Homo-oligomer: A and B are copies of this chain.
Amino acid sequence: MDLKIVGGTVVTDRETYPAEIGVAGGRIVQIAQKIDAEAGQTLDAAGCYVMPGGIDMHTHLDMPFGGTVSVDDFETGTRAAAFGGTTSVIDFAIQGKGQSLTDTVNTWKKKAEGKAVFDYGFHVAVTDLTEAVLAELPAMVAAGVPSFKCFLAYKGALMIDDGAFFRILGKAKECGALVMLHAENGEILDVLIKNALAKGQTEPKYHALTRPPEAEGEATSRGIAIAHMAGAPLYIVHLTCREALAEVKRARDLGWPVYAETCPQYLLKSFDNYLEPGFEGAKYVMSPPLRDKSNWADLWTGLVMDDLQVVSTDHCPFNFKGQKEMGLKSFAQIPNGAPGIEHRLMLLYQFGVRQGRISMNRFMDLVSAAPARLFGLSPRKGAVAVGSDADLVLWDPEAAWEISAQTHHQNVDYTPYEGVSGKGKPRVVLSAGRVIVQEDRFTGQPGTGRFLERRPFGR
């Protein structure tokens, strides 16, 4: 036995109980009241929860966007994530015009290789659907990439039309993939943005005002209807508002296989942040935008009642200096995205678990177990079970923290959560049985992360 963890309380998405855990060959080999066997290393988890590491299935590391590139690569990004208790990411490989999907995924694999400090997978985003690309989809599934992302927003760039979306869904159903949807009506946004710019409305807040929640609600409704016509399941990414949530509920009440995630920023930040003085609002320019605070309670209810299954980050960091500032003259030139990969578990623990909105088990489901189940990683990831990867976190529920760009590990010059404080963070983080973070020190190695070949959806 390589390692054992003693003295802690195991927490999964369903159970909480005291036990010792034995690890060998990077996997959990034993869970017991008492492990008698010797181990190369013993970790004392006294006062800690022992739980599966987080899975962040919505990240954009080293991603080109709007003439620049997101500033966390697979090394800085996964390292920062590890500090927060996340031990796997699924990043988006985004097809370029005319590019094959195989080439797309290979491009992203090269970004990750030699850099990632823990395991990683990819979704592939289909932005240019040809017959050849359609034919390529089953090979993606076979290659361990069983999730395809589509955009109904970003007209003239990433957006595809309803027909292409429908065809992708039809093929996904055949080959066992889960289609993921960015649901905003890009046609409407395009008119609103042009109208705003024509009126000289260029400040950051107009980013939000030209992307109304109704346009997200509409695209969510449409996406669900089209998925239903195709007979395929659907996963809505970064859902932000009651308009969209109502559509997800309606579908689920009918028994349709529709799933959705939200992100910490939509639970904790709001439209008001766009009104911060000067150009500060640019820090929050992301798509969909932050919404009115009145949505928070609806989203928390969605998380409690399982109408929302996952909390991911949509981590897509751009420096305020030099990058966000590209949009000083026009919100339409601000790179879309914000950092968050490091703080997801801490924020959800503090504002969810500690403040009584969700249970500890539900917390584990949202950040780890559900992503594993939906994206073909269960029970290898997201579980504390014999045979599972020893991606484990010793979580100290009383450890205090305060977020600041001065001290965070993300490679970006600001954080939307500057000054936010709370309790509960990792004491030790293991990836495949190796300690990669201990007492706020990084002890891992770039390049030790492995590409995750994920199973088809529902199989």
Interface residues, chain A, with chain B CB atoms under 8 Å away: 10, 12-19, 22, 29-34, 36-37, 155, 161-163, 166-167, 185, 187-188, 190-191, 212, 214-215, 217-218, 221-222, 225-226, 228-229, 249, 252-255, 301, 304-307, 369, 373, 378-379, 383, 385-388
Question: Please, which residues of chain B bring their CB within 8 A of the CB of A10?
Answer: 385-386
Query: Judging by beta carbons under 8 Å apart, are B17 and A14 in contact?
Result: no
Determine if B253 and A31 form an interchain contact, defined as CB atoms under 8 angstroms apart. no
A-B contact pairs, 29 of them (CB 8 A): A10-B386, A15-B378, A15-B379, A15-B385, A17-B379, A17-B385, A17-B386, A19-B387, A22-B32, A29-B32, A29-B33, A29-B34, A33-B386, A36-B37, A161-B187, A166-B187, A188-B226, A188-B229, A212-B229, A214-B228, A218-B222, A221-B225, A222-B222, A249-B253, A253-B253, A253-B307, A255-B301, A255-B305, A306-B306
Among A37, A161, A305, A373, max chain B CB count under 10 A is at A305
Give min CB distance, A190 to chain B, whole Å: 6
Q: Tell me, rounded to whole Å, the shortest Cβ–Cβ distance linking A205 to chain B.
A: 18
Give chain B residues whose Cβ lies under 8 Å from the Cβ of A373.
Answer: 14
Known contacts A306-B306, A379-B17; is-contact A217 B225 (Cβ 8 Å): yes
Task: Report how many copies the assembly holds.
Answer: 4
- In the bound assembly, the distance between CA atoms of A386 and B50 in angstroms comes to 14
Report B-chain residues with C-beta under 8 Å of the C-beta of A191: 163, 166-167
A456 to chain B, nearest CB (A): 15
Inter-chain CA distance A22–B34, complex, in Å, is: 12
Q: Please indicate the chain B residues that have their CB under 8 angstroms from the CB of A215 in the complex.
A: 229
Assembly CA distance A32 to B30 (angstroms): 4
Taking CB atoms, residues of chain B closer than 8 Å to A155 are 163
Selected from B14, B37, B162, the residue in CB contact (under 8 A) with A383 is B14
CB atoms of B33 and A30 under 8 A apart: yes
A229 CB, nearest partner CB in chain B, Å? 5
Most chain B CB within a 10 A radius of its CB, from A217, A255, A386: A386
* In contact, A379 and B32 (Cβ under 8 angstroms): no
Residue of B nearest to A18 (CB): B387
Q: Roughly how many angstroms separate A30 CA and B280 CA in the complex, as a whole number?
A: 55
A190: B residues at CB distance < 8 A: 163
Residues of B within 8 A of A301 (CB): 254-255
Output the least CB separation between A189 and chain B (Å). Answer: 9
Task: Please name all residues of chain B whose beta carbon is closer than 8 Å to the beta carbon of A37 when the two chains form the complex.
Answer: 36
A297: min CB distance to chain B, Å: 9
**What is the bound-complex CA distance between A251 and B185, given in angstroms?**
19
Residues of the B chain whose Cβ atoms lie less than 8 Å from the Cβ of A17: 379, 385-388
A151 to chain B, nearest CB (A): 15
Question: Which residue of B has the minimal Cβ distance to A28?
Answer: B33
Report A55 CB to chain B, min CB distance, Å: 15
Distance A166 CA – B369 CA, assembled complex (angstroms): 38
Nearest-neighbour CB distance to chain B for A174, whole angstroms, equals 13
Q: What 7 pairs across the A-B complex have the smallest Cβ distances?
A: A255-B301, A162-B187, A218-B225, A163-B187, A30-B32, A19-B386, A29-B33
In this complex, the member of A13, A37, A166 whose beta carbon has the largest number of chain B beta carbons within 10 angstroms is A166
Q: Give Cα distance in the complex from A253 to B251, angstroms.
A: 11
Contact across chains for A386 and B32 when beta carbons are under 8 A apart? yes
